[in-house]
Structure 1
Amino acid sequence: MKPVKLPNEIDVLIATKPENVRYLSGFTAPEDGLVVLGREGATLFTDARYAEQAPAESRVPVEIVNPREGYGFLRPHIEGLRVGYEARHMPCALKARIEAEAGAALLPTEGVVERARMIKSPEELDRIATAARIADEGYAHLLPRVAPGTRELDLALELEFWMRRHGAERAAFDFIVASGPRGALPHGVASTKRLEQGELVTFDFGAVVDGYHSDMTRAVALGPVDAELRRIFEVVEAALEAALEAAGPGVAARELDAVARDVIERAGYGPRFVHSLGHGVGLEVHEAPFLNARSEDVLEPGMVVTLEPGIYLPGKGGVRLEELVHVTARGIEVLSRAPRGWLEV
């Protein structure tokens, strides 16, 4: 894992965000722990339920404590120091308790651990690639079952069950299966709607392996579809191809977003591309860097990001195509390998 650099204004950081606790320690129940990170190392704190599990999993020293009795156990680790906390993630009530019981005023920080998490180690890349492979294979398993009369929800369940039977610990998120007019919903999670002939269906899904996510989107036609739906598929595919061609180390995230957006705008569908081009993927399915018009991020080797342009036509349908990409020293490696071209079933 990449070392975490503390800001100059703090001596130690109290990390409570579960993904950051796991990153710093390796502990697989991070929602029940916190980490105190200093310049000389880190300590994981958790309760007696994990007295055997935590030392077996953690890369850093472990202290078994009882938070119900208060947070005085932190005092020896933070007293007299400038102590940072994760302002976006620590509840106000917890901050107040720690300040009162551990004798330290906490200073707000943002993104300290997340900045390190943007660059994946070879081990992290292997887990993400494995999750992507399972998703690819699950999609191949699912395609013969995509037919008129099938419920969106049943397809989502079949895909999740298959992936879990073949190595995924869980689904990366609530799968999107959006058919017909529901395709205009960018986050149209699977419903009880039944697929119909002549519809376009969006599938957005991913697997989790050892805590690391994959993310991919494909679109499938149930036989011939309306000409405009075929047209927006072609535009989205062209936007994705342009983004893939432009992506690589040193490319600004906002510039990459603009590359894809320009293709869609020139085709006359600019207002129908209603979200950013993509995001980082790792311990979270949506994490830094973020690929949008306001981003200050720049792609670097070791990052894993999605590229996912889309067009959504209210009342009619929509298309999104998404690839999972590893940024390398020389360019990119596409981790999601399932065919993304036009497909009628």
Structure 2
Amino acid sequence: MKLIKLIEDKNLDGILITDLVNLRYFTGFTGTTGIALATKKGKYFFVDFRYVAQANEEVIPNGFEVILIERPAENKISEILKDEKIVKLGIEDRNVTLSAYNGYVEKFKDIKFISLGDNFTRIRMVKTEAEIENIKKAAEIADKAFASILPLIKEGAVENDIKTELEYEMKKLGAEGPSFDTIIASNYRSAMPHGVASEKKIDRDGFVKFDFGCFYKGYASDMTRTIYYGDRPSEKHLDIYNTVLEAQLKAIDAIKVGTSTRELDKIARDHITSKGYGENFGHGLGHGVGLEIHELPNLSGKSEDFILQENMVITIEPGIYIDGFGGVRIEDDVVVKKGGYEILNNTTKELMIIK
């Protein structure tokens, strides 16, 4: 229904889908090679011999006819375009390579290609209950895996070694794999917003920032916790941490249907600025999460403003980063609910001190 509505809304004759994430969303296909075509008359899924059985199992229940093709698929697609007199064909211009587009122009004669822009990602912004359950499970796995690796935080422990154990624990708990390159940044490296795990050894008396997540049934989680490793955090460590935590809680508390994403960003940013750290918060407050780790809506004062809708899943992740000293980020996955919100992560946000 969503594809047909998009065809009607954009006054198209059909839509061609090649991006694997969009294929999974609209057809249910979890393989690595396939093309879908939706028209006013039918929905077709083109696949070669390797994936016929899988496609029959996954896409037929979603209303697609499976068509076995010999590569390239464009030959068979062209036949259907001609039979159904397709003229205006929507394509994923943000995902299609130049070479693929040139191939379409050559094969699909007399077709007018229409840019779909971010229409698919906008459709995916609002989640179904099943999607939310998958994200919730991914968040639960991340919570449990994080708790299991905390005893590994010792002087001389290597960031990459801890990353390996964390990702292994997530897989043991049912994850398909990490949802992005795991960030573990200790001491001065914690000031790097995207400081992925390195060969650095952890030293005492500093922050250790963990930003990680996993895929479960195709859906991602995204969580950040910052701990302190040492006997006693300094007043500066405590001030930075508490400022970030307060900003995060204020932003989460303001989540409700109809709220502007820019307003949420402003709430967190204004608090951090009031404490003297405004220049040290250089990224947006958060983003949507789903089949991809970064989806719409964006939560930022510098990008397009969005209005929160029920069943959007967003991250709230303010941070403060001070070069040469360290940094703090705290992040949760949050579902926008009719009466407010639901936080999917259960790991404490009080500063954990590991001695």
Category of TM-score, reference length = shorter chain: over 0.9
Taking the aligned partners of 1:63 and 1:87, their CA distance within structure 2 comes to: 24
- In structure 2, the residue corresponding to 1:187 is in which secondary structure? coil
Cα drift, residue 4 of structure 1: 6.4
**1:16 alignment partner in structure 2:** 18
Q: Is the 8 A contact 1:4 1:113 kept in 2?
A: no
1:81 aligns with 2:90: no
Taking the aligned partners of 2:103 and 2:89, their CA distance within structure 1 comes to: 14
- In structure 2, the residue corresponding to 1:200 is in which secondary structure? strand
**1:43 alignment partner in structure 2:** 44
Identity of aligned residues (%): 37
- In structure 2, the residue corresponding to 1:178 is in which secondary structure? strand
Amino acid at match of 1:102: F
Query: More deviation in 4-13 or 267-276?
Result: 4-13
Amino acid at match of 1:84: G
Taking the aligned partners of 1:71 and 1:93, their CA distance within structure 2 comes to: 13
Q: Is the 8 A contact 2:4 2:39 kept in 1?
A: no
Q: Is the 8 A contact 1:95 1:106 kept in 2?
A: no
- In structure 1, the residue corresponding to 2:194 is in which secondary structure? coil
Cα drift, residue 67 of structure 1: 3.0
**2:162 alignment partner in structure 1:** 155
- In structure 2, the residue corresponding to 1:250 is in which secondary structure? coil
Question: Matches of residues 224-263 of structure 1 in structure 2 within 5 Å?
Answer: 224-263=232-271
Cα drift, residue 76 of structure 1: 3.4
1:309 aligns with 2:321: no
Amino acid at match of 2:19: K
- In structure 1, the residue corresponding to 2:353 is in which secondary structure? coil
1:182 aligns with 2:183: no
Taking the aligned partners of 2:315 and 2:65, their CA distance within structure 1 comes to: 35
TM-score, normalised by the number of residues in structure 1: 0.95
Amino acid at match of 2:113: L
Q: 2:299 aligns with which of 291, 295, 299?
A: 291
Taking the aligned partners of 1:95 and 1:181, their CA distance within structure 2 comes to: 46
Cα drift, residue 40 of structure 1: 5.2
Query: More deviation in 185-194 or 33-42?
Result: 33-42
Q: Is the 8 A contact 2:87 2:112 kept in 1?
A: no
Query: Cα deviations across residues 6-27 of structure 1 (Å, max 9, x unaligned)?
Result: 1424221112221111101111
Q: Is the 8 A contact 1:14 1:86 kept in 2?
A: yes
Taking the aligned partners of 2:205 and 2:2, their CA distance within structure 1 comes to: 49
Query: More deviation in 317-326 or 291-300?
Result: 291-300
Q: Is the 8 A contact 1:2 1:121 kept in 2?
A: no
Q: 2:74 aligns with which of 55, 71, 80?
A: 71
Cα drift, residue 101 of structure 1: 0.9
**1:191 alignment partner in structure 2:** 198
Cα drift, residue 49 of structure 1: 1.3
Q: 2:349 aligns with which of 336, 340, 343?
A: 340
**1:92 alignment partner in structure 2:** 98
Amino acid at match of 1:108: S
Q: 2:329 aligns with which of 320, 324, 328?
A: 320
**2:287 alignment partner in structure 1:** 279
Query: More deviation in 333-342 or 42-51?
Result: 42-51
Taking the aligned partners of 1:89 and 1:141, their CA distance within structure 2 comes to: 38
Amino acid at match of 1:214: S
Q: Is the 8 A contact 1:128 1:214 kept in 2?
A: yes
Alpha-carbon distance change, 238 to 274 in structure 1, aligned in 2, over 3 angstroms: same
- In structure 2, the residue corresponding to 1:265 is in which secondary structure? helix
Any gaps of 5 or more consecutive residues in structure 1? none
Query: More deviation in 41-50 or 280-289?
Result: 41-50
Q: Is the 8 A contact 1:5 1:112 kept in 2?
A: no
Alpha-carbon distance change, 239 to 2 in structure 1, aligned in 2, over 3 angstroms: farther
Taking the aligned partners of 1:73 and 1:147, their CA distance within structure 2 comes to: 60
Query: Cα deviations across residues 130-173 of structure 1 (Å, max 9, x unaligned)?
Result: 11111111111111221211111111111100110111011111
Alpha-carbon distance change, 40 to 275 in structure 1, aligned in 2, over 3 angstroms: farther
Amino acid at match of 2:297: P
**1:61 alignment partner in structure 2:** 65
Taking the aligned partners of 2:313 and 2:322, their CA distance within structure 1 comes to: 29
Amino acid at match of 2:313: V
Cα drift, residue 229 of structure 1: 2.3
Query: Cα deviations across residues 312-332 of structure 1 (Å, max 9, x unaligned)?
Result: 101111000001001111110
Query: Cα deviations across residues 287-327 of structure 1 (Å, max 9, x unaligned)?
Result: 01111113221110111000000011011110000010011
TM-score, normalised by the number of residues in structure 2: 0.93
Q: Is the 8 A contact 1:2 1:117 kept in 2?
A: no
Cα drift, residue 340 of structure 1: 1.2
